[in-house]
Structures are given as C-alpha cells and as structure tokens.
A and B are shown apart, each in its own frame.
Chain A
Amino acid sequence: MKIGVLALQGAVAEHIRSLQLAGAEAVSVKRVDELGELDGIVIPGGESTTIGKLMRKYDFMDALKQFSALGKPMFGTCAGLIVLAERIEGQEEAHLALMNMTVCRNAFGRQKESFETDLDIQGVPEPVRAVFIRAPLIESVGEGVDVLSVYNDEIVAARQQHLLACSFHPELTDDYRLHQYFVDMVKESLASKA
C-alpha cells in the first residue's frame, strides 16, 4: 500500500511521517505521472490559493478527479479540505469540487485567533488534540456526507465515501490516529477491489 502526499506547497513531511507511523508507505508527489502507483492521496495544509494555482498549472485537476473516480481514498486537511469542497463561500470557482459541502475560508479569523483544542471525532475512540491554523470550516454538508466532528456547533471534519476532510492539522501532533483512520480507508478500498 502506497499513499502519496501532494507536494506542491505546504506541510508535506509531517503528513509523510504520520502516515508512516500509521504503517503506510508514504511518498511526496509533484507530478501527475506519479499518481498511477498510489492507492490513496493526502492533500496537505498550506495556502489553498497557491496549491490551487499550482494544481491547475501542472494538470492535477483532471488527474485527481480521475483518481477519485477510481474510488481511491483522498484526505484533505485545512487547505486540502478547501481543495476537495464543491462550494467555497465568497468564491465563484471551487477547486476539485468532489465533496458535497460548502466551506468557508479563514473562518475563525486571523492567525492570532488560531488555536488548539481537544476534539471528539467519530471513529476515533479518545479525543484528538486538534490544531486549527487560520482554519476553514464546513458551513454545510449535502447528501452523502457524514459529519465526523463538530466544534462549537461548527463542522470541522467530514467523510463522503472514500473522501475524508478536516479543518485542523492532525499532522502537527504525534497522535496519528486520524491518519490511521485514513490508512484503514485505503486498506478497505484495496480489499474491496481484490
């Protein structure tokens, strides 16, 4: 099992480390021709405007839509969540537009409002220490999307079949249980194809 981390910009090394702790082989991905060998992909935190521009420039848009169409799991954190969403509040154009949800960028305010907190996540037994950095939130979800976590009545993690997204940064702590959750998704997807 091989999981890629989209390495156009953002916190790539941290995701690779967390995926490895969760028992997966993890590699960074900069070109579309590297997608073929992957069983799943993480779209990391970073600046969503930068990542979105570089994805378009280097033909990742169609390639990642095809990747998803094959049922291969994708996990977006923070900026990655924005990239996965069908609708972005205040913006006409979404990026991959794969998850049926509306997201709001920088929803908690500027950097001085960034925070960390303990968070309950469905499918993860004990609370997770969640780091929110200029984080987006999920304003609403449509049909087919399960809410996995809520903070102060706002949705901060969700899943739609093989797609997983969260507002915070599980890669910034030593707790790799959410990565484990994703690795298990990849295992299931491989098992269902076998």
Chain B
Amino acid sequence: METGTSRVKRGMAEMQKGGVIMDVMNAEQAKIAEAAGATAVMALERVPSDIRAAGGVARMADPTIIEEVMKVVTIPVMAKARIGHYVEAKILESMGVDYLDESEVLTPADEVYHIDKNEFTVPFVCGAKDLGEALRRIGEGAAMIRTKGEPGTGNIVEAVRHMRLINSQVRKVQNMSKDELYAEAKNLGVAYELLLGVHESGKLPVVNFAAGGVATPADAALMMHLGADGVFVGSGIFKSDSPEKFARAIVEATTHYTDYKLIAEVSKNLGTPMKGIEISKLSPAERMQDRGW
C-alpha cells in the first residue's frame, strides 16, 4: 500500500474534471457551494478581490476557518499557501486539507524558489501563464495546473490569454522534431523528459483548470470551450448579488458548455455580477499573475 504517489495525487485532480471549485470564506458559504454542486471548495480568509482592496501582505488563512469548512462539507477542501512557504504548506497538510494551492493570490514568501512539492503526500495545484511555467511546477511536483488569469478582477481576458498560450505551445511542441525539443527545453527552462512527454501525448501530464477572472456562467463555458478541464471561481460567486443561484448557474454552464440555450436559461436574472477591473488600470505591482516564475 502506497500513499502520495503521483498517480494518487494526479488522479485526485482527474476526479475534479468538468467541475467547479469555489472560493469560500466560512462554513455557511461552503455549504452553499456544496449544495450548488461544487466539486471542491477553496477555504480562504478573503477572496482575491478583497485581498486587492485590503492591500498589505496576504498569508495562509486562519486554520480555524479551514477547520470549520472541513467540518461542514463532504467534498474536498483546498487551501492556499504562499509561494515558497514550506511551513504554511506543511501546516495545511497536517490539518488534512485535501489539496494545496501554492498561490500567487497570496504574497510570495520566497522570490527564488517554489516549494518542493514532490516531498508532500498532499497534492498541489499551481498557477501557470505558459507551458514553461506549467512544466516547471509539474517538475516540482504539482499534480494539477490552473491558469493564473488575473485573480479578483472579474475580467476573463488574462485566463483566456494563458489558456490559449499553453494550448498553442503544446501544439507547437507536438509537431517538433526530437532535435528541436532539446533546444525548446532550454528555451522554456524545463526538463527535457517532461517536454518529451508533452510532445508524445499532445497534452500536459496533469489536469489543467481555468482560474483568475471567471465572473459569469458564460465565462466558465468559454474556458471549457478553450480546453480547460474545469473551472475555479474565486470572487465571482460570493461577490455577486445572489451567490446560491450564481453558483448553480456556473456549475450547469460548465457541465453543458456547448449547450448555449441552456446557458442562456441559467444566466437569466442572476443579478449583478461582480463589478470587475480593466486589466490596463492595474499597476505592475498590482498584477498577481507576475508573481512566481
């Protein structure tokens, strides 16, 4: 009997496919998310849009919040640790959190090194803007990838950019000759073996979700259309007027992402979605996607 194998960690993410993972800040929101059909919840002290508004250093959530959420739902509970913060990750693992997000939404703790995730029994999800970043995280042991997008903006444009870029890079690598792959591994800053795997299979070796800026059911469906395996929704749900309805609508739009009549139906009378931010209005220091490398 073996625990923490890469098959067990990656397999856990496979079971989330076609699903919606929702940010929640307390037990009550977690119950709403579960009842709406979320496949997992991300327990946080503040959703990304509040982190943006509050400024200062954003850290791992208070363990009390995470424990409360773990008590009330039977679906998996995820939580975020700062980039490079080994101890926050160990704390979350010891609490029995089901999946860790080494996340750029929090203030990085290390400007050079990400956590060595291979060493952990608990699986990790990490953000990526391009294929190189995705494969570097997978090399460190990430068992699931998500686009970075631009968290807390309610603006889908960056998640679209990242998903499209990763997909086009995968297609390019797929068509390369072996000798080109060696140079491409150097260009991307990734291990040759991982790149060879992408060349042979035509996809990432782990599940790739969309995250960062999903604000409406149509946004979720758009990301599925672009090839996402599932969707993370952060501020979108509990910053909307009617979270319960909104959460259900996003779940259904993700499952039936090619059924446009159905998406029209579930999109009716949802109230105002979160306001959203134009990306060009963000100063470089406010761009969360540029954290990590």
Chain A residues within 8 Å of B, Cβ to Cβ: 7-14, 30, 45-47, 49-50, 53-54, 57, 78-79, 105-106, 109-117, 131-134, 169, 172-173
Contacts and interface: CB of A to CB of B under 8 A. Distances in A.
A8 B255 contact: yes
Interface in B86-125: 93, 96-99, 121-123
A10 B40 CA distance: 12
Interface residues of B, number: 35
Given A46-B39, A169-B11, A9 B5 contact: no
A159 B107 CA distance: 51
Given A112-B93, A112-B96, A9 B19 contact: yes
B18 A8 contact: yes
B1 A115 contact: yes
Contact of B38 (A14, A30, A50, A109): A50
Contacts of A169: 11, 15
B16 interface: yes
B17 interface: yes
Contacts of B5: 115-116
29 contacts: A9-B19, A9-B255, A10-B15, A10-B18, A10-B19, A30-B255, A45-B14, A46-B39, A47-B16, A47-B40, A47-B75, A50-B19, A109-B96, A110-B98, A111-B99, A111-B122, A111-B123, A112-B3, A115-B1, A115-B3, A116-B2, A116-B5, A116-B7, A131-B11, A132-B8, A133-B15, A134-B76, A169-B11, A172-B14
- Is chain B's interface secondary structure helix, strand, loop, or mixed overall? loop
B16 A131 contact: no
Interface of B: 1-5, 7-8, 11-12, 14-19, 34, 37-40, 74-76, 93, 96-99, 121-123, 251-252, 255-256
B2 A12 contact: no
A57 B16 CA distance: 19
A111 B37 contact: no
A109 B256 CA distance: 31
B72 to A, nearest CB: 13
Contacts of B121: 112
B7 A173 contact: yes
A112 B76 CA distance: 11
Contacts of A105: 74
Nearest to A57: B252
Contacts of A110: 76, 96-98
B111 to A, nearest CB: 29
A51 to B, nearest CB: 9
Contacts of A12: 17-18
Nearest to B70: A110
Pairs of residues from A and B, 7 with the lowest C-beta to C-beta distance, nearest first: A111-B98, A47-B39, A9-B18, A11-B14, A53-B37, A117-B1, A110-B96
B11 A172 contact: yes
Contacts of B255: 8-9, 30, 54
A172 B251 contact: no
B18 A46 contact: yes
Contact of A111 (B1, B12, B251): B12
Nearest to B99: A111
